[in-house]
Amino acid sequence: MSELKPDNKTGRWMGLLAAFLGWMFDGLEMGIFPLIANPALTSMNVAAEDMSTWFGRFGAVFLIGAATGGLLFGWLGDRIGRVKAMTYSVLAYSLFTGVAYWATTPWELAGLRFLAALGMGGEWSLGVALVMECWPEKHRPYLAGAIGASANVGFALIALLTMRFKVTEDSWRWVMLVGAAPALLTFFIRLFVPESEKWKEAVKTSTESPVKEIFSSRLIKNTLMGILIAGVPLIVTWGAVQWIPIWVDKQLSAHAVEAGGVVDAFAKSWAQFFSASGAVVGCLVAPVLGSLISRRATYFMMCLLSLGVCGLLYGTATVYDTYFLACVFLVGMVTASFYGWLPQYLPELFPTRVRATGQGVAFNAARFLAAGGNAVAAMVMTSFGGAAAGGSFASVSEHKPLSPGGRGPT
């Protein structure tokens, strides 16, 4: 395998492409479950009143698996290299998602979701470390935005795919097979992506284990700060935003049954598409703002705007129509902007020799916190409905359930 020299422009682009595609397919994998959860559970004879509980379990096992995988693959990336570890992480999330085609019970589906999440959690820190070590500093805001946006490109792609092919109780399994396709990416990574030369040089002088070093007196403050800063957007995203397609599906279906009519079968796909499209914009803009003003000011602004747009969605969007989808776009744009900002900020907290481990711990330890938030959201949604669940995580108390007053895009 060739070495990634500072003047190896082809190697830089290969590294960026691998990170972009790896995180894009990671996003595609994450976007699968909000779209197939309802028909999959229905096909497994799960009662309607138990659906929200299972949605919460799926979210929790994903977050715990991703957190565990982030720690594992981040450590592995600092021990054997970014490229090798990235190959294993992509292979893990692809194969275990594909195996879910044969799941026959909710617990089997949850177990495979956990195993797939191990790879999904690892890919982020490895891709970010590789790209930030390959490219000159002046390009990093744009690269951070591209990496952050790539997952949401995957979200949008799976939403578009399920608009073309309706996901039902009889067809949800083929979506899991689509999720196995990224396994082919591992051949590209191993053949064409060179290893980080900075990492190779850095590990020559390393005397401590990566985990021990990031919790040493010299780096413990940075590690804890990274966990805290990554935890805020993860809790909000998984407590409020990730529930939007499921909320749309449940609320519209309930209203359709009550009214004796039918509902737009692609409503949840449209909601996910608009959320992901907004997220792409937010991820591209946030790191540029972080360079133009400051990291701290940008983070504060993202937090404030997230509170506002979530309040707008959950407090005023009571009908599935163009206004609702516009609000979803804004929520996706603002709340996902953190994921363009974090690839810019987190690498700056850790030296090269422990960067993948440090980022993996910071970003993924926060997922344990988000798992708790997701479980609380499931209980709130079961008791009070989707708007209350999302609104509570955005500090909005007013509850107005969604009703199918409009058709949305056609």
Query: pLDDT tens, 91-148?
Result: 999 999 999 999 999 999 999 999 999 998 888 888 888 888 888 888 888 888 888 8
Q: Which residues pair with 4 in a beta bridge?
A: 196
SS3 state of residue 319: strand
What is the reported pLDDT for 266?
A: 76
Question: Residue 222 is which amino acid?
Answer: N
Interval 196-225: pLDDT, tens: 888 888 877 765 678 888 998 889 999 999
State both tokens at 182.
């990224």
Angle ∠(385,171,36) on CA atoms, nearest 5: 30
Write the Ramachandran bin of 385: left for phi over 0, alpha for psi from -120 to 50, otherwise beta. left
pTM more than 0.85:
no
Q: What is the mean pLDDT of the chain?
A: 81
- Residue 74 and residue 211: Cα distance in Å, rounded? 10
CA distance 93 to 151: 14
Return the DSSP state at 321.
Answer: S
The ranges assigned to domains in the chain are 7-193+209-393
Beta bridge partners of 3: 195
| pLDDT of amino acid 330 | 94
Q: Which has the closest alpha carbon to 77: 379, 407, 354?
A: 354
* Residue 344 half-sphere exposure toward CB, CA atoms < 13 A: 32
Closest CA to 81 of 207, 203, 184, 188: 203
| 348-368 residue pLDDT tens | 899 888 888 888 888 888 777
State whether the Cα torsion 348-349-352-358 is positive or negative: negative
CA geometry: angle 280, 283, 284, nearest 5 deg: 90
DSSP 336: T
pLDDT of 375 reads 58
CA 135 to chain centre: 24
Q: How many CB atoms lie within 10 A of CB 270?
A: 23
Total Cβ atoms within 10 A of residue 361: 27
7-193+209-393 CATH pick, 1.20.1250.20, 3.40.50.1370, 1.10.1840.10, 3.40.50.2300: 1.20.1250.20
pLDDT for 373:
59
Q: At what angle are helices 82-99 and 185-192 packed, to 10 degrees?
A: 170
Bridge partner residues of 195 (DSSP): 3
Pair 21, 185: CB distance under 8 Å:
yes
Residue whose structure tokens are 């007053």? 405
CA separation for the pair 319, 322 (Å, rounded):
9
Phi, psi of 97, rounded to the nearest 5 degrees: -65, -45
DSSP assignments along 247-306, one per residue? HHHHHHHHHHHHHTS---TTHHHHHHHHHHHHHHHHHHHHHHHHHHS-HHHHHHHHHHHH
Amino acid 52 reads S
Task: Match 């949850």 to its residue by tokens.
Answer: 110
Spell out the alpha helix ranges (H) of 100-209.
106-134, 140-164, 172-178, 185-192, 197-203
Q: Are 74 and 150 in contact (CB under 8 A)?
A: no
Please tell me the predicted confidence (pLDDT) of residue 406.
44
Q: Does residue 257 have a pLDDT over 70?
A: no
- Mean pLDDT across 274-286: 93
Is a pLDDT exceeding 80 seen at residue 5?
Answer: no
Residue type, 6: P
Q: Residue 374: what pLDDT? A: 59
**What is the Cα Rg of the chain in Å?**
20
State how far the Cα of 32 lies from the Cα of 37, in Å rounded to an integer: 8
The Cα–Cα gap between 139 and 229 comes to 23
